[in-house]
Structure formats: structure tokens, C-alpha cells
Amino acid sequence: MPSSHRIREDQPQPRKRWVPEMWNGLAWQMCGTPRHSEPEAEQYLSRLYQGPQAAPAYRLVYAFTDHSVVRVWGTPALRQVEL
């Protein structure tokens, strides 16, 4: 009978990410998809900074998680389920 406890091999591997954030005047908010490499994230921020609607400030936040982060944009909408 298999164990009900998780073993080390079942757990996901830790992931390193660089999260781009922008200053909106009140707080830092995420402004793009987390990147796996720092140079790629810096290049993304430089393109945003040179854009027509650039924020006052940008920064990169280093995130180290043991799970895959999925960000969903928009607000959820309720649907009627037909049975």
C-alpha cells in the first residue's frame, strides 16, 4: 500500500524567478510575467522604461518558490452550469 505522506521525489523542485514591478505612486505592483533570468528581466524593464507610458520607477524582486506560480489576469466571471 502506498504511503499517504509525500516523499521528497514527489515535491516540485524550487524555482528561481525575477519579478518585474512598477511604482504606481502608492505601491509597488507586478507589471509583467516573472522571468527566469536576471538579464532577460532587466531587458524587459528597459523596454518598459523607454515606452510611451513609462512608470516613475521600476524594480526587480527576486522570488524563490518551491511551486510553480501561475498568475491569472482579469476578474473571474460566474457561469451557469447545465446539468
Residue 74 lies in a domain: no
Q: Which domain holds residue 49?
A: 15-65
pTM: 0.60
What pLDDT does residue 65 have? 67
Residue 77 lies in a domain: no
Amino acid at 25: G
Q: How confident is the model at residue 39 (pLDDT cuts 50, 70, 90)?
A: very high
Distance, in Å, from the CA atom of 59 to the CA atom of 42, rounded to the nearest integer, reads 9
Percentage of residues in the chain having pLDDT higher than 90: 6
| Helix or strand run (H / E) with residue 58 | strand 58-65
Number of separate domains in the chain: 1
